[in-house]
Amino acid sequence: MKQIQIQSQRRFQNISIYRQLQNIIEEMNMQEGLLFVQCPSSSTGLTLMKQNDDLSNDMIYGMEKTFPTQDQFYHYAHTAAHLKSSNMGNTLWILVQSGKILLEENEDIVFCEFLGPKNHTIYVKQLAES
């Protein structure tokens, strides 16, 4: 199993992990198969999105509007982060074909921080075809 270390800088932040995942694929010399990607934190998410800063900012805004950080929660800021993470999910399955991540043009794989700044470890497990 491989690991990616992430250090977020802000409470809400989207960080591309595409390059790190592609590097892992190349290190393993993986040609075909699946990668299982997980961040075992209940205040983060993993998702696919277009490579676009405005879209990334809109996603952060939309998640905060849907699950606002507010003091009415019993556990204040943490509850909103857990709701965002539960809604998005913190795992992804990534298809690999011909040694490359299989995504449409301009798509990205993004780690989403909902309660930073923090350090996180993302785990990556190869499920290759023989």
Based on its alpha-carbon atoms, the radius of gyration of the chain, rounded to whole angstroms, reads 15
Do the beta carbons of residue 18 and residue 109 sit within 8 Å? yes
Query: How many separate domains does the chain show?
Result: 1
- Reported as a single tens digit per residue, the pLDDT across 73-128 is 776 668 889 999 999 999 999 999 999 999 999 999 999 999 999 999 999 999 86
Range of the domain at 14: 2-128
Q: Positive or negative, the Cα torsion across 21, 25, 31, 33?
A: negative
Q: Which of 57, 65, 58, 108 has the alpha carbon at shortest distance from 83?
A: 65
- The CATH number of the domain holding residue 123 is 2.60.120.460
Model confidence, pTM: 0.92
- Reported as a single tens digit per residue, the pLDDT across 37-86 is 999 999 999 999 998 889 999 999 999 999 888 767 776 668 889 999 99
